[in-house]
Amino acid sequence: MTDTKKVVVFDYGFGNVRSAERALARVGADVEITRDFDRAMNVDGLLVPGVGAFSACMDGLKRARGDWIVGRRLAGGRPVMGICVGMQILFERGIEHGVETEGLDEWPGTVGPLKADVVPHMGWNTVDAPEDSRLFAGLDPEARYYFVHSYAAHDWTLEVTNAKIRAPKVTWSTHGERFVAAVENGALWATQFHPEKSGDAGAQLLTNWIETL
Ligand SMILES: NC(=O)CC[C@H](N)C(=O)O
Domain that holds residue 141: 4-95+107-209
Q: Cβ < 6 Å from ligand 1: which residues?
A: 51-54, 84-85, 96, 120, 148-151
- Spatial neighbors of 207 by CB under 8 A, at least 6 apart, are 27, 28
Split into its structural domains, the chain has a count of 1
CATH value at residue 158: 3.40.50.880
**ipTM of the prediction:** 0.96
Checking if the pLDDT of 84 tops 60, the result is yes
In a domain, 177, yes or no: yes
Q: What is the mean pLDDT of the chain?
A: 96
Ligand 1 centre to CA of 29 (Å) is 26
Is residue 83 domain-resident? yes
**What does the pLDDT average to over 148-174?**
94
Of these residues, 84, 121, 149, 184, which one is catalytic? 84
Give the pLDDT confidence of 56-83 residue by residue, as tens digits. Answer: 999 999 999 999 999 999 999 999 999 9
- pLDDT tens profile 162-196: 989 889 999 999 999 999 999 999 999 999 999 99
Known catalytic membership, residue 149: no
Asked if the structure places residue 11 within a domain, the reply is: yes
Read off the pLDDT of residues 108-146 as tens digits, 9 standing for 90 and up.
999 999 999 999 999 999 999 999 999 999 999 999 999
Determine whether 196 is an active site residue: yes
